[in-house]
A and B are shown apart, each in its own frame.
Chain A
């Protein structure tokens, strides 16, 4: 049976991992390659490396880091941050990335998704959406690492992106990110039910029960978290054993 995936996210700045609360207040949590290898050995199913400052600072290439990662890590990994062209993606894939995640650039120019799908296949195109629920009860798409609000709803954009070629959706709830109060179950369930592609839930995972909820109640295909893994608040082997005991299909051993 296909298992639910646990994905540690390593936010990168200046070659080091950081994790902010609601995208501000960055903290240092070590060397990305070392940390990634540790997570792989502990049973992480995939890794995501996000250069969180890249969209703002227009920093392009993570290619050297990606090359180091792919030489040392034996599970799949996704790279994101400031990717805006077919050429950017080509370089990252050539250096060993399995997938790339794209956010602001795809929103500004949706045709980029079709171009990437045509060139590399949808299986390596992850569309990242930062969404926030506003007072009107709707989830809106935010760009530039959560700094810029748009008028587009999350489900609307996700559906268009999938029709254009996104092979997976990485949904981050800005309302939940950094709170450790649990994932955004409603919007995750809405996307997961509507979309034919996998949905990765992100933002708010603080305890093991939160992961159970997002798999069981919101039908997420994967759950992503950062600081709780970096600061050893939740250990991946414990999390997987817990989920297994609770009847969630997970990869163990």
Chain B
């Protein structure tokens, strides 16, 4: 089993590598087109800002490679958001693998017109452990509804046809997406204790 982690200008790529090592799965971190195409599984992680990440991917033509992968691909956090159609984070056209759009929690907070006393009850970015529910696909095999996962994000993917997991913060949104061979999770399985390890294991063994 060859697992390739996409190397690009985003943070926390090492954390994914170490998490895979902890569950006994070796992986390589690479931006080599052939190594990515040849791998059995590809993980597209990342913490960072959408427009600079997309610019980096386009400049290196990694965007095309990512869009044409045939094997199972798992996007994590920013990786998942970049696989969506569009992000409100600096008005960024993304890869368009998923049809969903990525929106701003700050905008949502304004729209919700929460009262003054509540205004800072919802901190942005959302940082911490929240539940995932309405779980679909084998990515969540043996994962209980309302399991806790670790989230750190200021933008969120709206609910849509590709939604395979839902989380609620200000409003329900997609914490998991799936279309064809592509999967994405908004939370960090590499930091989500044993639940996260099980999800990574599912991606490697069951997808």
A residues with CB within 8 A of B:
1-5, 40, 45, 70-72, 74-76, 93-96, 98, 120-124, 167-168, 192-198, 219, 221-222, 251
B125 touches A122 (CB 8 A): yes
Contacts of B48 on A, CB cut-off 8 Å? Answer: 120-121
Hey, what's the 0/1 contact readout for B140-160 against A, CB within 8 Å counting as 1? 000000001011111000000
A221 near B127: Cβ-Cβ < 8 Å: yes
From A167, A194, A195, give the contact of B127 (CB < 8 A).
A167
| CB neighbours of A76 from chain B (8 A) | 150, 152, 188, 191
A93 with B11: CB separation less than 8 A: yes
Count: A-B pairs, CB below 8 Å: 96
B22 close to chain A: CB less than 8 A: yes
Q: Which of B1-26 contact A (CB under 8 A)?
A: 11-12, 14-15, 18-19, 21-22
Judged by a CB distance under 8 angstroms, whether B196 is at the interface is yes
User: Are A197 and B194 touching (Cβ within 8 A)?
Assistant: no
Subset of 25 A-B contacts with CB under 8 Å:
A2-B126, A2-B130, A3-B129, A3-B130, A5-B128, A40-B193, A45-B128, A70-B15, A72-B22, A74-B191, A74-B193, A74-B194, A75-B150, A95-B14, A98-B152, A120-B47, A122-B125, A123-B47, A123-B152, A124-B11, A194-B120, A195-B120, A196-B120, A196-B124, A198-B123
Q: How many angstroms from the CA of A72 to the CA of B23 in the assembled complex?
A: 10
Measured CA separation A40–B197 after assembly (Å): 13
Contact present for B129 and A45 (CB under 8 Å): yes
Q: Are A1 and B124 in contact (CB-based, < 8 A)?
A: no
Given A74-B194, A98-B191, are A198 and B150 also a contact pair (CB < 8 Å)? no
Cα–Cα, bound, A3→B153 (Å): 15
Q: Are B127 and A1 in contact (CB under 8 A)?
A: no
- Expressed in whole angstroms, the Cα–Cα distance for A74 and B200 within the complex equals 12
Query: How close is A237's CB to chain B, nearest CB, in angstroms?
Result: 14
Question: For residue A70, which residues in chain B have a CB less than 8 angstroms away from its CB?
Answer: 14-15, 18
A29 to chain B, nearest CB (A): 23
Partner of A192, one of B12, B120, B192: B120
**Cβ contact within 8 Å between A198 and B127:** yes
Shortest distance in angstroms between B135's beta carbon and chain A's nearest beta carbon? 16
CB of B49 within 8 Å of the partner chain: yes
Say if the beta carbon of B131 comes within 8 Å of chain A: yes
Residue numbers in A under 8 Å from B131 (CB-CB) = 1
Residues of A within 8 A of B161 (CB): none
A221 proximity list for chain B (CB < 8 A): 123, 127-128
Question: Looking at the complex, which one of A96, A122, A197 makes contact with B14 (CB distance below 8 Å)?
Answer: A96
Residues of A within 8 A of B151 (CB): 2
- Neighbour of B21 across the interface among A71, A94, A98, A192, CB < 8 A: A71
Return chain B residues, CB-CB under 8 Å to A192: 120
Assembled-state Cα–Cα distance A98/B152 (Å): 10
**B124–A3 CB distance below 8 A:** no
Q: How far is the CA of A75 from the CA of B152 in the complex (A)?
A: 13
**Known interface pairs A75-B191, A196-B123; 5 further A-B residue pairs with C-beta atoms within 8 A, sorted by A's residue number:** A5-B129, A74-B191, A93-B11, A167-B125, A221-B127
Q: What residues of A have a CB within 8 angstroms of the CB of B153 in the complex?
A: 123
Question: How near does chain B come to A16, taking the closest CB pair, in angstroms?
Answer: 23
* Docked CA distance A220–B86 (Å): 34
Known: A121-B49, A196-B123. A74 touches B129 (CB 8 A): no
Q: How far is the CA of A196 from the CA of B121 in the complex (A)?
A: 8
Q: Are A3 and B148 in contact (CB under 8 A)?
A: yes
Listed residue (A74, A123, A194) with the most chain B CB atoms within 10 angstroms of its CB: A74
Most chain B beta-carbon neighbours within 10 Å: one of A72, A196, A222: A196
B169 to chain A: which residues have CB within 8 Å? 2
The residue that B11 contacts in the complex, of A2, A75, A121, A196, with Cβ under 8 A, is: A121
In the complex the two chains form, is A1's CB within 8 Å of B130's CB? yes
B19 and A74 contact, CB distance less than 8 A: yes
Contact of B129 with A2 in the complex, beta carbons under 8 Å: yes
Docked complex Cα distance between A5 and B193 (Å): 14
Q: How many angstroms from the CA of A95 to the CA of B148 in the assembled complex?
A: 25
Taking a contact as CB atoms closer than 8 A, the residue among A71, A75, A193 that contacts B18 in the complex is A71
Q: Are B47's CB and A74's CB within 8 A?
A: no
How far does the alpha carbon of A71 sit from the alpha carbon of B128 in the complex, in Å? 21
CA distance A192 to B125 in the complex (A): 14
Instruction: Please determine whether B148 and A251 come into contact, CB atoms closer than 8 angstroms.
Output: yes
